[in-house]
Structure 1
């Protein structure tokens, strides 16, 4: 029994560490440096996510960043599914760890993005019906208002109700709530600008603005 408990704890530890390290990969920073666009942290808002990469004028690098940030969430969840024989609790832990890694990456002194792309990657791989509904919500709100942060906040707020409506496991409901809370916390500055009508719209460049101490981009 003791050996079994040790094996379970080891599995949980590896799941959390592996998911976190995957989530910590800063695709925005890697893409802009290798693509010749410089350090994304010195552009626009200073955020490492796809929305700020788009402000560099490089749509190709923004797409690479979006796919990379979402993909690392997908990989973390799918690996957990395989290793745990599709245990929902383990899968949710891996997804949450990858999401946390993006927000607080060890490679960047724990100063990461806002997790929106990784949020979708995790959701689509963990509970695709809820993830698909959240993605459609983002697209609809973004198309209507052209504000990335607003679309992200609405989608995050509705993720848990979507999980309930599609009869997802309780572990995935908890995952949705966990990520939504962190997304709202990371978007606190955006919420302030939304309330005052000063939030920038999708695709708007911010080249003259010095990057802040903490990123204020609409999505990451």
Structure 2
């Protein structure tokens, strides 16, 4: 049992550290010599990188943020595939897998938004949430992306689309009868993503939230 907790704790720590890699911040520093946290919305995510650094950098940051979340979950899945033999089962019991996946997923998105390397600042965890969903259940991920895309096509506002996706993921988790830990993760992640967008919600309410291609108005 002690080995189970030790390995689980190490996997959660690895997920947090990977999530903490500040891709958006590094893009701003390397390409424009700026601290992206002091530009635009102050987020280190791909949307703010798009506004302040450029399209190519934003795509690279988006892919990086996805991978930071995908890799630790694949590590968990890989370990469970490797230790499926009965002799190794006591190390990490099989009935822990979905709970550990959910815990590692939370650590990854928390690392992205509260980076150890940026004094616990960061992005809004949208891309990292999508990354873990791709590993948990690709259908849930695709459904969430579809909702995001529809809202983006209609309203052209990334924050509104992200909030819609955060709500939709819970619906898809229930509709596709996912394990309880995954449903709880979706609830946590959805609330967390919406909370991270609270300043965007204020601007949406005021009608000052920028659409794609528009500059954020400084208040």
Name the TM-score, length of structure 2 as normaliser. 0.88
* Aligned: 1:88 with 2:103: no
Contact 2:73–2:132 (CA under 8 A) maintained in structure 1: yes
Q: Choose 1 or 2 for highest CA Rg.
A: 2
What stretches of structure 1 of length at least 5 have no aligned partner? 211-220
Contact 2:42–2:48 (CA under 8 A) maintained in structure 1: yes
What stretches of structure 2 of length at least 5 have no aligned partner? 82-93
Higher relative contact order (CA 8 A, sep 6+): 1
CA RMSD, aligned part only?
Answer: 1.6
Residue 159 of structure 1 deviates from its aligned partner by 0.5
1:112 paired residue among 122, 138, 153: 122
What is the 5 A alignment of 1:125-136?
A: 125-136=135-146
1:161 paired residue among 160, 164, 171: 171
Residue 180 of structure 1 deviates from its aligned partner by 0.6
> How many residues were matched structurally?
205
Instruction: Encode CA deviations 1:44-80: one digit per residue, 9 max, x unaligned.
Output: 2221111111112510001011111111111121111
Contact 1:88–1:169 (CA under 8 A) maintained in structure 2: yes
Provide the rounded CA distance (Å) in 2 between the counterparts of 1:105 and 1:200: 26
Contact 1:50–1:66 (CA under 8 A) maintained in structure 2: yes
Provide the rounded CA distance (Å) in 1 between the counterparts of 2:174 and 2:109: 21
Name the TM-score, length of structure 1 as normaliser. 0.88
Would you identify which runs of 4 or more consecutive aligned residues in structure 1 move more than 6 Å?
Answer: none
Contact 1:40–1:46 (CA under 8 A) maintained in structure 2: yes
- Which residue of the partner structure matches residue 215 of structure 1? none
Contact 1:153–1:183 (CA under 8 A) maintained in structure 2: yes
